[in-house]
Amino acid sequence: MRLLLELMARSSFMVLIGLLSSMLLRNRSAALRHVVLTITLFAAVAVVPLTMVVPGWHPLMGDVDSSGLPDFGPLPEAQAVSAPSASAGRSEPPADSRHLVTPAVIAGMWAVGGAVSGMVLLAGIRRLRRIEARAERVQSAEWTLVVGTISGEYGLTRPVILLVTETPDLLATWGLLRPRVLLPSHAREWSTERREVVLRHELAHISRGDWLVQFGAEVMRTLFWFNPLVWAICTRLRRESEQACDDLVLAGGVPVKQYATELLELARTCRPYRSPSGAVTPMAHPSTLERRFAVMLNPLTDHRPASSRALAATAVLLLGLSFPVAAFRAGQTAPLPLAGAVYDPSGAVLPSVQLTLVDVRRHQWKATTDASGHFDFPQLEPGRYEIDVSLLGFRPLHHVFDLRTPTDWDRAITLEVGEVSEAIMVRAARQPGPAPAAPTVPLTVRVGGNIRTPRKLQNVPPVYPPAMRAAGREGVVPIEAVIGTDGAVHSVRVLSASIHPDFAVAAADAVRQWRFAPTLLNGVPVDVSMTVNIQFSLSD
């Protein structure tokens, strides 16, 4: 959940940069501002995967975050993990004072909001498809000739489909590969001047690819429905695309007065189309006309399309900014002393244990547990560390871990009992023996593999340790046990040192009391290994 919030914050930062940049460019052309917002939208999406691959950095520490550090290799099997643990005497908040807004609740709220927004968007597209299915395609020469002429001026090679709908208030363009211009039902009565104005404006949207950009913004708003910055950039994209198309129409030779008159008349005859989706944008929405008229009549406003040099510079600046934003690691914890305790598998503390700590720069610290099994290291900054723990009679422990949140500086380590092994080699002189006899083929061959799996006869549920429940702690205990030929459980062993001893003891005590029907292999009882994961969790 923390990573998800960081990704949302980075995307929001990129959107904010784009909105501020477009405001600073208010005296430049609308086409340039639209490009800035479009690249901002792409950078806000690109910052999410970049966060996963770009090495992290923190400006105050001058060092990389642990997520960008090299790994020290795989951990030793079933022993190399240490976990946070409460120090002796430390007070824990009561269970009823914990936050009610859990990550699951937040994820559920986001999913519900995203589902509602997605259904609204899909409902709008479905409505447009229904309108299009009932529309009549325009194929008259007076329309197609104008479309061909304007398409040639805009360098548009894709075929454009004109559709007269049954809706009197719909005038918009949508679609990517097969763009369609949806005209109101009274479009056949338009004058030649109005047809040219409308087609110049709508084909300008197609040549600029505005529908794809706007639809991508609507999808992003569906995912980030709770973020007002995303709503703001969607609104600004619409406004800038309309003004950029106005500039193209005026650059095509249409007088400003005639164009403004036609827009005003269209706004009167075509009421605002109330679509439940952002898939289309009305050409003459009354709420934007006043501002568009002011821009068209302002002689100081730049109406030129964005140059290739400006596009390249904008793309380099905004996309280049996404890399440091993705690498930035905010909210690092201040340096804290690393402390904890070392236990044996029974939960008893272990004094005189030698601990060696090494950081990524190979700085080394040593400590020894006191009579109460506790150890202390000096203040350590956030980052990645490796620790070696050893005591005669116990398995050596080597572990790589990260210090990020404050609880990571308080650790519990459990050492497993060591194994005694010895290798003996007996040598003797080889004596000549009789010649090997010819191999014989047995008359019968015994085929194995017929096994009957164990069936639990007696189950004893684990008891949640009172101390862990009072401290509000949870954990999962992986256990390996052996079911003997008599159905009893033998050789119970906890597979991880990351578990607090109270959890390990409670889980092991329960498993030892289980009883099974004997496991039969080819009709003969045999021992069988069993792996169990026992999870201790607290419910709200």
Return d(Cα 425, Cα 296) in angstroms, integer.
98
> Is the Cβ–Cβ distance between 51 and 326 less than 8 Å?
yes
- Provide the sign of the torsion angle of the four alpha carbons 283, 289, 292, 298, taken in this order: positive
Angle CA 479–484–487, to nearest 5: 95
Q: Which of 237, 241, 259, 240 shows the shortest CA–CA distance to 250? A: 259
What is the structure's pLDDT at 436? 52
Angle CA 73–76–82, to nearest 5: 95
Which residue shows structure tokens 């009072």? 470
What is the structure's pLDDT at 375? 94
Give me the percent of the chain exceeding a pLDDT of 70. 76
What is the structure's pLDDT at 427? 43
pTM of the model: 0.54
**Between 419 and 378, residue with greater pLDDT:** 378
Please report, as a single letter, which amino acid is at residue 418: G
What is the structure's pLDDT at 389? 92
SS3 state of residue 354: strand
C-alpha 463, offset from chain centre: 36
Residue 116 — very low, low, confident or very high, per pLDDT cuts 50/70/90?
very high
Q: What does the pLDDT average to over 405-422?
A: 72
* 322-336 residue pLDDT tens: 777 766 655 555 678
Angle at which helix 256-269 crosses helix 228-251, to 10 degrees, equals 130
* 325-377 residue pLDDT tens: 766 655 555 678 899 999 887 778 889 999 999 998 889 999 999 988 899 99
Which residues, 6 or more positions from 231, have their beta carbon under 8 angstroms from its beta carbon? 221
Helix (H) or strand (E) holding 41: helix 30-53
Return d(Cα 223, Cα 227) in angstroms, integer.
9
- The count of other CB atoms within 10 Å of the CB of residue 500 is 25
Partner residues linked to 320 by β-bridges:
none
Kindly state the tokens that stand for 461: 């549920």
Lowest mean pLDDT across 31-45, 164-178, 206-220, 282-296: 282-296
**Between 315 and 85, residue with greater pLDDT:** 315
* 48-91 residue pLDDT tens: 777 766 665 555 444 444 334 434 344 333 333 344 443 333 33
Q: What does the pLDDT average to over 200-229?
A: 89
What is the structure's pLDDT at 525? 82
Return d(Cα 249, Cα 257) in angstroms, integer.
12
**β-strands 397-403, 410-414 pairing:** unpaired
> What rounded mean pLDDT belongs to the chain?
77
What is the structure's pLDDT at 356? 95
